[in-house]
Amino acid sequence: MTGGRGRFAAWSWTVGALILLAVLFSWISYRAGWYFWACGHFRAAQQALDKYDWREAHDHLEACLRGWPNDPAAHLLAARAARRLELLDEAEEHLNTCQGLQGGETQATEVERALVRVHRGDLAGVEEFLRNSIRHDDTDAVEILDILSTALILDYRAHDAQDCLDDLLRRQPDHFHALVRRAWTAQSMSRYALAIEYLDKALALRPAADSVRLSMAEIQVAIGRFADAQKHFEQLQERQPDNPSVLFGLARCLGGSGQKEQAIQFLERLLAKYPNDWKALAERGWLSELDRPAEAESYLRRAESLAPPDLPLLVRLSDCLRLLGKDEEARAYREKADRLKADFQRAADLGDLIREKSPNDPALRHELACILLRLGKQQDALHWFQTALEKDPTHRPTHEALAAFYEKVGGFDQAAYHRRLLQRLDSAQTGGSRQ
């Protein structure tokens, strides 16, 4: 009897141990499955970030964090993906979680927080920190330089952006977006051959990047490389047969290489669909100017009535009127062209002066903004007005100019805002005078 109870107890212990082992094995298998599942999503997210596929990276990291909710590296990577998608509040939540898990701020989280501030428009507040971070640690250098160069371009600091991009491309020569931006900085400085060189490298990496190919072709047209440009436009036309920029580019190539009648056919096709395309009207007039100046005049006048201030168009219209014997009117358009040319030159000089000698002078920024308004570059002008007020929030001429601008375009709330600020400045000045 006693032996039977002993055998039963031993059997019970064995069964219990086996059950415990099975449960333990199941739990370990479950946890291991979650671990490897999360690990796979983490690696996939890293690969997606390397490909600049922010949405895919974000989705993989959401899945990863279901398996690794307390992994600081996953939260840091999730913050980067969210920031790239402009989900800035979400990015900061991940950084706060990361900081809590690590028991404090690290260099990596400080850098990521600074990059979030750049996305929020606070470049000035973190630029020095980010530049120092590059000098002291290469870990995030490419990401920092990528974001900095974009922000500097948006801040109209082409020379500084160029320096960042050159540094980035030394570290990662096949960085597609850096090559495209580096071409833009070269083009903004009229270094067209260099811009083409960078775009060519970008196209070698992504031959199907039509926007890059279009930029390449348009620059080649601008410097008279019509045959090279035409090849690119013809490739684009195969994929985008109705793109007006492509049709216009082909017309310019044909006209520039002496095939005027074929060029006119493309322009007529374009104008049939877009009758107010001032560039097409101007080109159509130019193609007729020598042979049929009266016909050219009608196209050029219409283009001038629709276009923003454009120097070549004014010169062409002046020349056309002179051919028709309308000397007085031709002279008036030539004088208008000369004033426009002077504005362009003064704008370039002011840009150099602000960048190199007087970065904190609101008067220079205000003057540049006023010139840009005359040139029809409203967004650029508003940028420089805003930076003038950042340097001096009480700068009266800037508030006056902004009030007048917004009243003209129907932005009455913005105009009233600047009028109120002017009244406060008057009150403050009057109060100070009495004292």
CATH number, domain with residue 114: 1.25.40.10
Q: Which of 132, 166, 185 is the C-terminal boundary of a domain?
A: 132
Is 111 among the domain residues? yes
Is 379 among the domain residues? yes
Q: Look at the block and give the residue holding tokens 């056919």.
A: 265
Q: How far apart are CA 127 and CA 114, in angstroms?
A: 8
Q: What is the CA radius of gyration of the chain?
A: 32
Q: How far apart are CA 15 and CA 428, in angstroms?
A: 90
Low-confidence ranges of the chain (pLDDT < 70): 1-38, 430-435
Is 15 among the domain residues? no
Residue pair 61/77 in contact (Cβ under 8 Å)? The answer is yes
Is 365 among the domain residues? yes
Tokens coding 385: 């007005």
Tokens coding 367: 């003057």
Residue 11 CB neighbour total at 10 angstroms: 10
Q: Which domain holds residue 103?
A: 32-132
The C-alpha angle 300, 302, 308, rounded to 5 degrees, equals 90
Q: Which of 82, 104, 132 is the C-terminal boundary of a domain?
A: 132
Tally of domains within the chain: 2
Give the pLDDT confidence score for residue 430 in this predicted structure: 66
Tokens coding 312: 């070549």
CA distances from 308 to 21, 247, 259, 372, 386 (A): 80, 21, 28, 11, 22
Q: Which of 86, 109, 132 is the C-terminal boundary of a domain?
A: 132
Q: How far apart are CA 71 and CA 65, in angstroms?
A: 8
| Residue among 86, 139, 141, 137 at smallest CA distance from 116 | 86
Residue 293 CB neighbour total at 10 angstroms: 19
Is 167 among the domain residues? no
Give the pLDDT confidence score for residue 32 in this predicted structure: 46
Is 120 among the domain residues? yes
Is 190 among the domain residues? no
Is 418 among the domain residues? yes
Give the pLDDT confidence score for residue 237 in this predicted structure: 93
